[in-house]
A and B are shown apart, each in its own frame.
Chain A
Amino acid sequence: MAVLVIAEHDNASLNDATHKVVTAAAKFGGDVDVLVAGEGAGDVAAAAGKISGVRKVLHADGASVAKQVAEAMEALIVPLMDGYDAVFIPATTMGKNIGPRIAAKLDVMQLSDITDVIDTDTFERPIYAGNAILTVKSSDAKKVITVRGTAFDAAGEDGSASVEAVDAPAGPFKSEFVSEQMVKSDRPELAGAKRVVSGGRALGSKEEFDRLIVPLADKLEAAVGASRAAVDAGYAPNDYQVGQTGKIVAPELYVAVGISGAIQHLAGMKDSKIIVAINKDEEAPIFQVADYGLVADLFNAVPELTEAL
């Protein structure tokens, strides 16, 4: 048996999500190869070779896959699947974008966002915003799987797999990359952060979000998150959204400020190790999952907390 893992990276560095997917793939069993598709991503391919348990790295280098657009990734991955029983892909925006496209080409049903591998046909995944856990068995011969990173530990880095070049697909494709606006930040990345400070609608404005949440996150060296309500109201970018339709996080410490705790938000953070909630409504559902709840006006409590750290 052999499994292909698709690497998450930005051409400069390998994202830790890849290490977690390798752990999931190893649990599935068989040889684990990692595909690095990018442009000038030689360092990423070398880093992927160091992941424990990897047999070899396939490195596709070319402009067509520089931004991993779906059409080019499909053209690259589908032919490779002749040699694999499964493809494991991180459930990042990259993975969610390409996975189903590959599955449909192979005429198989994708298993999305798995949280456990039971055996080579059976997997566990959350449904209904994590309010139910589905154990599901696939009858398809090949498996196309996206993996929820927070459910698996990152594989170590004591490997020394060789890197083999594969051809990047020749374009043109029917979609073309135009531009990107990436938020430059020194903060830890939300999905993998050890600490997260999230703000909700109770902050009332973008100005207050920036004035209260950001310094607290700075003090804690934490990533910044937000509830859907705060994103909807324009207090924070969508990329900060924690929850069913945003990012799933499981940090050591999660601080929820002015977040009531709708089930859709809880779906994204309830596996955090320690949860702190600050909210003036003592009936807020967030307190039902918080290890430490502070019933207080956030406009007083947050500056005080930032000061005290």
Chain B
Amino acid sequence: MKVIVPVKRVIDYNVKVRVKPDQTGVDLANVKMSMNPFDEISVEEAVRMKEAGTATEVVIVSIGPQQAQETIRTALAMGGDRGILIKTDETVEPLAVAKLLAKVVEEEKPDLVLLGKQAIDDDSNQTGQMLAALLDWPQATFAYKLEKDGDALTVTREVDGGLQTLKLATPAIVTVDLRLNEPRYASLPNIMKAKKKPIDEKAPGDYGVDIAPRLSVVKVTEPPVREAGEKVEDVATLVSKLKAAGAI
């Protein structure tokens, strides 16, 4: 089966974000950017499917500025076959991302689109589900385990209270959760090889999709700061403090 894996370039997981003093957003100047961690898990899963012979081709798609090409290269170094960069410097909301991806799907005709369950910048957790709706495809979000079962997919999902298993007709949308796999680090030879893999460059206009935002930022502020309390000497002191505070 042919697999499309969309990837997003986001602020690195380890960077502490700072809100801009003018409250228009967060400061991204000179901040380390990386592939969204959940997207690394989806790339890894697609590459493993290819290694296991269940996937025939893995196409990496990113929507973003020119630098998003680096994110695509990272995914290609992990084992993706080729890339598509839909270049824009605008903020593209999940609904518009899903519409662009739906057009890519119409052209590429994959059997599976594997996405991260959420991006760690806007924490929206929407794109996969929206893409499934636009295409009228079945969806399995928060995948813990993914198996090909003839023409169908059996997906076990992380849900509140435990796990749920669904059977999906293909083509299908799957969004991945933390425990699905442990993404690999690309080896140096594979990084070199990835430089030669093709990346098509497109623009949102090529797909005729209106990416005008539906949401506008009123302001972005710092969350209330929680003050550090006190250090206690020992367990007995802790217990008496908790009793005094009415916590136990």
Q: By the criterion CB–CB under 8 Å, are A99 and B242 in contact?
A: no
Q: By the criterion CB–CB under 8 Å, are A276 and B123 in contact?
A: no
- Across-interface contacts of A301 in B (CB, < 8 A): 235
A136-148 CB mask vs B (1 if < 8 Å, else 0) is 1111100000000
Docked pose: A289 CA to B122 CA in angstroms: 24
Q: Which of A110, A127, A132, A139 contacts B94 (CB 8 A)?
A: A110
Q: Does B167 touch A at the CB level, under 8 Å?
A: yes
B13-29 CB mask vs A (1 if < 8 Å, else 0) is 10011010000001000
State the Cβ distance, A302 to closest chain B Cβ, in Å. 9
Q: Does A81 touch B at the CB level, under 8 Å?
A: no
Chain A residue at smallest Cβ distance from B116: A245
State the Cβ distance, A90 to closest chain B Cβ, in Å. 10
- Counting chain A residues whose Cβ lies within 8 A of the other chain, the interface size class is 35 or more
- Across-interface contacts of A273 in B (CB, < 8 A): 247
State the Cβ distance, A197 to closest chain B Cβ, in Å. 12
Q: By the criterion CB–CB under 8 Å, are A100 and B133 in contact?
A: yes
Q: Does B194 touch A at the CB level, under 8 Å?
A: no
Docked pose: A62 CA to B134 CA in angstroms: 25
Docked pose: A303 CA to B231 CA in angstroms: 19
State the Cβ distance, A289 to closest chain B Cβ, in Å. 5
Q: Does B169 touch A at the CB level, under 8 Å?
A: yes
Given A127-B122, A128-B123, A132-B26, also A292-B230 (CB < 8 A): yes
Q: By the criterion CB–CB under 8 Å, are A244 and B226 in contact?
A: no
A101-129 CB mask vs B (1 if < 8 Å, else 0) is 11111011111110000000010001111
Q: Does B222 touch A at the CB level, under 8 Å?
A: yes
Q: Does B138 touch A at the CB level, under 8 Å?
A: yes
Given A134-B217, A295-B231, A308-B236, also A238-B11 (CB < 8 A): no
Docked pose: A282 CA to B228 CA in angstroms: 13
Q: By the criterion CB–CB under 8 Å, are B142 and A132 in contact?
A: no
B207-235 CB mask vs A (1 if < 8 Å, else 0) is 00000011111111111001011111011
Docked pose: A220 CA to B239 CA in angstroms: 12
Q: Does A270 touch B at the CB level, under 8 Å?
A: yes
B177-213 CB mask vs A (1 if < 8 Å, else 0) is 1110000000000000000000000000000000001
Q: By the criterion CB–CB under 8 Å, are B231 and A293 in contact?
A: yes
Q: By the criterion CB–CB under 8 Å, are A239 and B214 in contact?
A: no
Docked pose: A93 CA to B141 CA in angstroms: 9
- Across-interface contacts of A166 in B (CB, < 8 A): none
Docked pose: A307 CA to B190 CA in angstroms: 55
Chain B residue at smallest Cβ distance from A234: B179
Given A71-B139, A100-B130, A101-B139, also A293-B232 (CB < 8 A): yes
Q: By the criterion CB–CB under 8 Å, are B248 and A175 in contact?
A: no
Q: By the criterion CB–CB under 8 Å, are B179 and A231 in contact?
A: yes
A7-45 CB mask vs B (1 if < 8 Å, else 0) is 000100000000000000000000000000000000000
Docked pose: A14 CA to B1 CA in angstroms: 41
Docked pose: A67 CA to B157 CA in angstroms: 13
Q: Does A130 touch B at the CB level, under 8 Å?
A: yes
Q: Which of B94, B215, B235 contacts A138 (CB 8 A)?
A: B215
Docked pose: A10 CA to B139 CA in angstroms: 21
Q: By the criterion CB–CB under 8 Å, are A136 and B221 in contact?
A: no
Quick one: which of A112, A122, A191, A244 has the most chain B CB within 10 A?
Answer: A112
CB-defined A-B contacts under 8 Å, sample of 12: A101-B133, A110-B126, A127-B122, A139-B216, A174-B168, A174-B172, A178-B166, A178-B167, A179-B164, A181-B163, A238-B144, A289-B226
Residues of B within 8 A of A (CB): 11, 13, 16-17, 19, 26, 38, 93-95, 98, 117-118, 120-134, 136-142, 144, 154, 157-169, 172, 177-179, 213-223, 226, 228-232, 234-236, 238-239, 241-242, 245, 247-248
Q: For the A-B complex with A104-B131, A131-B223, A293-B229 known, give 16 more contacts whose Cβ atoms are closer than 8 Å.
A: A70-B129, A71-B139, A93-B159, A94-B159, A96-B142, A100-B129, A131-B17, A174-B136, A175-B168, A178-B167, A238-B158, A239-B159, A245-B117, A253-B248, A274-B245, A292-B229
Residues of A within 8 A of B (CB): 10, 67, 69-71, 74, 92-94, 96-105, 107-113, 122, 126-140, 173-183, 189, 191, 220, 228, 231-232, 237-239, 241, 244-245, 252-253, 263-264, 270, 273-276, 282, 287-296, 301, 304-305, 308-309
Q: Which 8 pairs from chain A and chain B are nearest by CB? A: A291-B229, A100-B129, A174-B138, A104-B133, A104-B130, A175-B138, A100-B126, A182-B162
